[in-house]
Structure 1
Amino acid sequence: MDYENDLPDLSHWKAVMEFTVEQAALLMAMIDPLDVETLAQAKEQQFPRWKKAHAHCLSIVSAIRQGMISPVICCAWVLPENYSEQPYAMNIKPSDRTYDISPAHTVISRAALLNWIETERVQVTKPASPAKLTQLDQKQAEIIEATPLALPYRGHTSEGLEFVEDAIKQLWSTYDPDDPSTAPSQTEVVEYLKGRGAGANMAQAVNLILRPRHLSPGNRKNRSAATNKS
């Protein structure tokens, strides 16, 4: 980590669960996107650490291309050949290299960003004297520190493994074992994976693999019945 003094207070961003790539890059460099909205403005105004923010942006885009970060929305900024038409944002697949990914319009989740930072040991700017973590932040930090990479690379991959890793990053990374309500529902997992291109059977299989046994609908039903009998 890069530790520096006199950094802005960004605690008001803690409740934000999704960012544009541009916002994420600014935040990683401890630049408040409410003070400067774009990377171009940060450079123009010579904000401290603007070069770090630009480098973070390139890193995030590269991670999206490599499948390390699964975006919520992946967009390109299209400039029509007919100059009388207005530029517009267009949804694209992360693997589509016909267009450049637009950092200003592509959206990523906090969970996916943090997972990438932890997994790849990305250097981000931190205060020299970090404020005391809240109880929830401390618990999440302990879970992240104690949990190894879910799917370490062993020289083999497949479409199914990619869907598993994607679901972990996007849906299960914020799950608290002590609070079952934080677990994504079966419908959420299945519909998300189908939206990512998985077939119905594949989506159901991934859901079964990732869902702890005590959270399965059948097990909860059996437990409820046992409780009622007693």
Structure 2
Amino acid sequence: MVIPIASIGDLTCMCFQISHFSSHLYTSQGHKYDISAIVNDKFELDIGKYEEQGRIHISMFFALTYGFGFATIASTLTHVALFYGREIYERFRASYKGKEDIHTRLMRKYKDIPSWWFNALLLVTLAVSLILCIFLNNQVQMPWWGLLFASAIAFIFTLPISIITATTNQTPGLNIITEYVMGIILPGRPIANVCFKVYGYMSMSQAVSFLSDFKLG
């Protein structure tokens, strides 16, 4: 009900020319947007071609999806901070002092996975990714600091999103926020945007899945 009402209420959405539930991109005349026409041979945005074809229009469904995506990330941070902030702080202090809870003591009877396995995998993947960003920058378009920034975003969001996953069985995604951030930092570079999303969003998603395998919830 929300999408048709919002479409009719918004006189600028061209509700009679664009499908309410479509994920495609459209021109101002309601035709599908030709993405390949606004990208040059270096896979960068051609401003002249973009202005010639006009700005991109999206359906109300797509617009609301993006809006709720931003709201989800904001609510995830505030909810975890307000309802679990004190517990996170106390668990961090206990871990720092070497205090073990009952679950940790029970798991002691199982053999631990060597930490160097994880460290070696991290170093190898980080080194390969840095090589791609430095020596093949004309293909990936993303500078080396973009990789580190994306990794930092994944690291920061892993804990709050893991808590939401464990308590609700729903995993908020970082795909929208990573696209938005890189779009502001490096506009007109679609490959860099996708690479940043992969390292920022998929790294967090795989980390949450890995924690779930360790019986997070």
- TM-score relative to the length of structure 2: 0.29
More strand by share: 1
Structure (1 or 2) with the larger CA radius of gyration: 2
More helix by share: 2
